[in-house]
């Protein structure tokens, strides 16, 4: 008997359902708007320089409106590749505030404090705390672990110099979305394991984090050009940011690190159509196993990065409010 093996390349998209009929009403409004105004914003089939330009233009509309800061201060923090810009959003005129250190997402390759401006202002308003945005250097110019080290430098700077900025550094939260959530969780573990420790970190606010499961059901089912989360997109981001050996670094792939100690209470949210959903659910199970207080919001019919779309999605506003309230609750403990 002669056997035949077809010469076909693997296709990770072939069995994925069309997400459009599954979208909630508000998410569908966002997708329809994007189709008309920014249809190729997340297509990685271009240079990273072009992708950055598209990302900035796409985010401009979504950053309009939302809570207003009483004051914004720009600070330059010394880091391993030169100064790291940090932006402080103050909610009011009180002389002292606790702080949330926010690390933006964008596949480590795109994004800035500007592209995540409304998200940070929303967390500021919900928590009543300052929010400190970390404008880390992007890949491919800065590969792992440089952004991790830069975020650590910002935290250590405010621990040592918080008083001059009205920051109470004994109680802080680390926050981030997508790749920024990956950095926030890895940063907490890195601070735990380095001089100075992480005792001041009282909460993690992780929005649809990429904790890099090697494979998952949600990754097989979800992720299309609608949200720029196809496997080819994810591999593009990774190729810019990490070398193959870094994939098993426990400060990048946090599931390979010891999560039984030094992890504060965690707030998480994710859309149920996000390929990273199982990353969130897996971390939730680990935390419950280790007795870490955890709050998780799973948003029905939402794609990856839905929290940018507060202008059309009340679900995004609610999750941002929940995360701020979660940190406020930890401050009261």
Residue 86: inside a domain: yes
β partners of residue 176: 103, 206
Report d(CA 101, CA 310) in Å as an integer.
Answer: 21
Residue 6 pLDDT more than 80? no
Domain hosting 280: range is 20-253+265-331
Catalytic residues: 178, 274, 304
pLDDT (tens digit, 9 = 90+) per residue, 7-25? Answer: 777 888 899 999 999 999 9
- The one-character DSSP state at 5 is -
Residue 14: inside a domain: no
Residue 13: inside a domain: no
Report d(CA 88, CA 135) in Å as an integer.
Answer: 11
**Structural domain count, the chain:** 1
Please compute the mean of the pLDDT values over residues 113-125 and round it to a whole number. Answer: 98
Q: Could you give the maximum distance between any two Cα atoms of the chain, in Å?
A: 83
Residue 260: inside a domain: no
* DSSP letters spanning 24-71: -HHHHHHHHHHHHH-TTTT--SS-HHHHHHHHHHHHHHHTSSS---SE
Q: Output the six-digit token pair for 159.
A: 């621990």
Residue 98: inside a domain: yes
Residue 281: inside a domain: yes
CATH of the domain at 136: 3.40.50.1820
Residue 149: inside a domain: yes
Residue 1 pLDDT more than 70? no
pLDDT (tens digit, 9 = 90+) per residue, 289-331? Answer: 999 999 999 999 999 999 999 999 999 999 999 999 999 999 9
Residue 297: inside a domain: yes
Please compute the mean of the pLDDT values over residues 271-288 and round it to a whole number. Answer: 98
pLDDT (tens digit, 9 = 90+) per residue, 72-100? Answer: 999 999 999 999 999 999 999 999 999 99
Given this model, what pLDDT does residue 45 score? 84
Reference 105, options 244, 285, 227; nearest CA is 227
Report d(CA 216, CA 242) in Å as an integer.
Answer: 20
Report d(CA 203, CA 183) in Å as an integer.
Answer: 14
CA quadruple 282, 285, 286, 287: dihedral positive or negative? positive
Please compute the mean of the pLDDT values over residues 128-138 and round it to a whole number. Answer: 98
SS3 letters across 211-254: CCCCCCHHHHHCCCCCCCCCHHHHHHHHHHHCCHHHHHCCCCCH
């Amino acid at each position: 008997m002669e056997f035949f093996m077809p010469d076909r390349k693997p296709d990770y998209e072939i069995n994925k359902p069309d997400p459009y009929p599954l979208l909630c009403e508000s998410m569908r409004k966002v997708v329809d708007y994007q189709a008309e105004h920014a249809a190729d914003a997340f297509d990685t089939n271009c240079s990273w320089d072009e992708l950055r330009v598209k990302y900035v233009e796409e985010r401009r509309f979504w950053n309009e409106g939302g809570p207003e800061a009483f004051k914004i201060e720009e600070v330059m923090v010394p880091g391993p590749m030169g100064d790291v810009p940090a932006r402080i959003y103050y909610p009011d005129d009180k002389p002292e505030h606790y702080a949330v250190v926010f690390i933006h997402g964008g596949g480590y390759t795109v994004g800035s404090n500007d592209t995540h401006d409304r998200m940070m202002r929303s967390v500021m308003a919900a928590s009543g705390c300052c929010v400190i945005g970390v404008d880390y250097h992007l890949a491919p110019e800065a590969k792992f672990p440089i952004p991790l080290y830069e975020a650590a430098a910002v935290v250590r700077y405010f621990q040592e110099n918080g008083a001059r900025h009205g920051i109470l550094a004994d109680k802080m939260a680390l926050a981030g979305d997508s790749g920024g959530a990956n950095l926030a969780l890895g940063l907490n573990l890195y601070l735990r394991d380095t001089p100075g420790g992480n005792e001041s970190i009282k909460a993690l606010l992780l929005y649809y984090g990429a904790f890099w499961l090697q494979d998952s059901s949600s990754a097989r089912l979800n992720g299309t050009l609608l949200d720029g989360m196809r496997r080819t997109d994810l591999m593009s981001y990774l190729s810019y940011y990490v070398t193959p050996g870094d994939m098993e670094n426990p400060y990048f792939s946090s599931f390979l690190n010891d999560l039984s100690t030094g992890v504060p209470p965690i707030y998480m949210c994710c859309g149920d159509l996000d390929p990273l959903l199982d990353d969130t659910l897996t971390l939730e199970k680990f935390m419950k196993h280790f007795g870490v207080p955890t709050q998780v919001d799973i948003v029905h019919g939402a794609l990856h990065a839905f929290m940018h779309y507060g202008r059309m999605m009340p679900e995004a506003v609610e999750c941002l409010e929940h995360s701020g309230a979660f940190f406020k609750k930890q401050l009261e403990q």
